[in-house]
């Protein structure tokens, strides 16, 4: 086929049988390179395998199933860690004697919304006074830990476990232990049972 060369319009070029032109754009029916073709064929093959594995036979895990499996394994690992290093009152009390941990706990208390309900001095507002001897959900360090971890959703105390995790909540308990029975001025009236400690 003979047509005009667009770069040099005055010159006619012969492209042979395979050349053709659409709207003045000249094309050749070049053979595709083998690497390209093979990549393409393999991608097609892969997609068929993928489709059968995940959608027809469903032998592969869906993203949700894979996620749930991973979460289950992480939970098991966390339980194992916990079993090896159980949370005890003694451990939490020991942490409350460490000024660095207590300071970190105080920062956590100030920065994680606790002050909105318990006030910055922990004297209580919507939530109870945390500086007296009275506890609604138990005053043992592990009980305080569990109250913070699980919250008391029906009474307006949000669960913090998923948000803050084990180690931060231990620091919060260490801080609360360090200020318990300090009776801040203007604190809320006692609620719950009296517990020394
Ligand atoms: C939205 C308000 C709110 C926020 C935010 C909040 N609390 Fe509370 N908290 C409460 C209320 C309300 C209670 C009392 C629940 C009840 O009446 O059973 C409570 C109870 C507690 C108790 C148990 C007190 C007892 O007498 O047994 C502890 C400990 C505590 N909160 C710590 C925290 C910490 C630490 C934070 C921040 C990480 C926090 N709270 C954030 C409202 C809140």
Number of structural domains (the chain) is 1
Dihedral, CA atoms, 107, 108, 114, 120, nearest 10 degrees?
-10
- Domain with 183 in it: what CATH number? 1.10.760.10
71 assigned to some structural domain: no
What is the reported pLDDT for 40? 97
Sign of CA dihedral 181, 185, 187, 191: positive
59 assigned to some structural domain: no
147 assigned to some structural domain: yes
54 assigned to some structural domain: no
| Cβ of 119 below 6 Å from ligand 1 | no
Closest ligand 1 atom to Cα of 164: 38
170 assigned to some structural domain: yes
CA of 80 to the centre of ligand 1 (A): 29
| Cβ of 148 below 6 Å from ligand 1 | yes
Q: How far apart are CA 128 and CA 130, in angstroms?
A: 6
CA of 94 to the centre of ligand 1 (A): 23
H helical segments located in the chain: 34-51, 63-84, 89-95, 99-111, 114-118, 141-150, 161-179
Divide the 197 residues of the chain into consecutive groups of 10 and give the mean pLDDT of each group. Answer: 55 60 82 94 97 93 94 93 89 96 97 96 96 96 97 96 94 97 95 88
Location of structure tokens 């595709």: 32
Nearest-10 crossing angle of helices 161-179, 141-150: 150
The CA distances from residue 137 to 22, 74, 147, 155, 158, in Å, are 81, 29, 7, 12, 14
| Cβ of 136 below 6 Å from ligand 1 | yes
CA of 89 to the centre of ligand 1 (A): 19
Residues 6+ apart with CB under 8 A from 176: 105, 109, 122, 130, 144
100 assigned to some structural domain: yes
- Domain range for 93 is 83-194
Residue closest by Cα to atom 17 of ligand 1 = 155
Q: Which of 113, 126, 127, 158 has the most ligand 1 atoms within 8 A of CB, as the residue to mutate?
A: 127
156 assigned to some structural domain: yes
Quickly count helices (H) and strands (E) in the chain: 7, 6
Give the rounded distance of the alpha carbon of 121 from its chain centre: 30
What is the reported pLDDT for 8? 58
């Amino acid at each position: 086929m003979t047509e005009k060369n667009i770069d040099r319009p005055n010159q006619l070029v012969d492209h042979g049988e395979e050349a053709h032109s659409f709207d003045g754009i000249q094309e050749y029916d070049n053979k595709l390179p083998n690497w390209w073709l093979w990549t393409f064929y393999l991608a097609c093959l892969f997609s068929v395998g993928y489709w059968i594995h995940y959608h027809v036979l469903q032998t592969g895990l869906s993203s949700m199933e894979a996620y749930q499996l991973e979460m289950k394994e992480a939970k098991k690992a966390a339980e194992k860690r916990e079993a090896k290093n159980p949370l005890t009152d003694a451990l939490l009390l020991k942490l409350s004697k460490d000024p660095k941990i207590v300071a970190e706990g105080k920062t956590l208390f100030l920065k994680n919304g606790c002050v909105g309900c318990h006030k910055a001095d922990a004297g209580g507002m919507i939530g109870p006074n945390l500086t007296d001897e009275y506890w609604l959900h138990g005053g043992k360090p592990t009980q305080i830990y569990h109250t913070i971890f699980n919250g008391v959703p029906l009474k307006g105390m949000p669960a913090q476990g998923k948000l803050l995790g084990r180690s931060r909540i231990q620091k919060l308990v260490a801080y609360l232990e360090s200020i318990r029975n300090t009776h801040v001025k203007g604190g809320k009236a006692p609620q719950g049972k009296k517990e020394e400690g």
